[in-house]
Structures are given as structure tokens and as C-alpha cells.
Structure 1
Amino acid sequence: MKTAHILFIISWMACVFVLPRVILHYQLAQRSAKDTDLVKLLSIKLFRFGLLMFLLALSSGMWLWLGLGVGGKWLLVKLILVFLLLCYFLVSGWLLICTIRQKNNLSSLALRIFNETSLLFVIPIIYLAVSKNA
């Protein structure tokens, strides 16, 4: 179960890191009047896949938590950071919808900065999971 949990987390993280960059390229393609149908389809599938991987990671994590009795202050802090990362991912989905509807007015620089902010959550999450200290 732990192996499956790690696999689901890695898959979700890939989506968390890639989706904002895909939105940026999608928006740039829209602005240059290029065909965006394929990028639109792939972006939507990427977001849906990310949601599925999050739900599977959450389910397997709950199973490990309840089954193995893992706990402590570090876990609470980690779960808060995971919730914030989920909010970040959902905001990415909202930005995707805005971009599809051509209502995303964020600049390329703002989207690039947004893309990098996920690390503010991921690095402490990894530290807490590895060290189990808070």
C-alpha cells in the first residue's frame, strides 16, 4: 500500500508541476491565433488525471494512517500543507477554465511565477514526510 501511495503522489505531483506550464503555453498559443484544440484536450485530461491521482493518494494515505496508526504533529502540519497544495491545484484548474474561455488575463510572467510557487508547499511536505519532524 505504501508503494501505491508513493506512486499516486508522484503522479499527482507531476500534474501539479506541469498543469500551470501547460496553461501558459495554451494561453500563448491562443494569443498567437494558433490551433489550440489538442492542447485544450490534453490540458483537461491532465487536470482530470491529477484529480484522480490525488483521490487515490488520499485514499491510500488514509488507509496507511488508520491501518498503521501513524501520527504526530508533523503529520498535522503535512496535511495542512497538502490541503494548501490541493487548493493550488484547484486554482490551476480554475485558471485552465478561464484560459479555455479566453478570460485569463494573467501575464506570462505571472503564470511563470505561479508555476514555481508550488515548490513552497512541496519542499516542506517532502521534508516532513522524510524526517517526521515538525
Structure 2
Amino acid sequence: MLWVKAFHIVFVAAWFAGLFYLPRIFVNLAMVPADSHAERERLLLMAHKLHRFSTLLMGVALGLGLWVWLGYGAGRFAGSYWLHAKLLLVLGVVGYHHMNRRLMRSFEDLSNRRSHRWFRVYNEVSVLLFAAIVVLAAVKPF
């Protein structure tokens, strides 16, 4: 079970690497001049590839997490409120992942109205979620 747990952590870290970098690409996309089609297309291609790869990593991370949870006995965690909070945050991360896809589509459709400053702040959401999940998993405060 420790091997599964270790690989779960590896895939979660890899997934978050994509979640950290994809919004940074959005910052750059929001700063591209309207007449710079080649730069826009290059950044969109990078965003597509990163999102696709991150989606694969997400699936493996969630699958391994479920395996760990079931392997340790899901009922064993019934009174573990830290785990409930962590799972709620994980749902938030999955929503953030899907929000990235919607934001990417807005760049494709030329319908993005958000500034690069907005994307800089949005980029920090994944860091806060990651930090909160790690603290809950490691410290188990409640």
C-alpha cells in the first residue's frame, strides 16, 4: 500500500505542476497583441498539450487516491474531518482543472475579456489549494 501511496503523491505533484503552469500560459495569452497570430497559436498549442497531459495525470492521481482510501478502509476515516475537508478541496481542484479548460476555450473563441492581472491572481488559487491539501494530509488538524 505504501507504493500506491507514494505514486499517488508523485502523480498529484505532477498534476499540480500542470495546474501551476497552465494559468501562467493564460497570463501570456492575455498579453498577446491582437495582430500576433503566430504567438497566440503557439501559446494555445502549448496550453492544449499541457491541459491534455494534466488531465491524464489527474485521472491517475485520483484513481490512486481512491485506491489508497479504499485500501486503508474507507470506513476507518468516518470521524476524520480533516479527510472530509481534504476531499472537498480535491473537488475544488477538479473544478479548477475544468475551469482551466473553459478559460482556454475563451482564448480559442477570442471571447476572453479578462486581463493578464486577473490571470496572475487566478494562478495563485492552485497554490493555495495545494498548500491546504498538503497541510490537511500531513498535519490532520481535526
How many residues matched? 134
Which structure: larger Rg?
2
Stretches of 4+ moved more than 3 A in 1? none
**Preserved CA contact (<8 Å) 2:25 2:47:** yes
CA RMSD in angstroms, aligned pairs only: 1.5
1:42 to 40, 43, 46: 46
Q: Which residue is 1:33 aligned to?
A: 36
Could you tell me the TM-score, scaled by structure 2's length?
Answer: 0.86
Shift in Å, 1:104: 0.5
Asked whether 1:67 is paired with 2:71, we answer: yes
Shift in Å, 1:33: 1.4
Q: Identity of counterpart residues, as a percentage? A: 32
Q: Distance in 1 between matches of 2:93 and 2:33?
A: 28
Could you tell me the TM-score, scaled by structure 1's length?
Answer: 0.91
Moved more, 76-85 or 118-127: 118-127
**Preserved CA contact (<8 Å) 2:27 2:119:** yes
Q: Structure 1 unaligned segments of length 5 or more: list them.
A: none
Matches within 5 A, 1:1-134: 1-31=4-34, 33-35=36-38, 36-69=40-73, 71=77, 72-134=80-142
Moved more, 22-31 or 43-52: 22-31
Q: Structure 2 unaligned segments of length 5 or more: list them.
A: none
Q: Distance in 1 between matches of 2:97 and 2:31?
A: 21
Q: Distance in 1 between matches of 2:104 and 2:117?
A: 16
Q: Distance in 2 between matches of 1:51 and 1:132?
A: 28
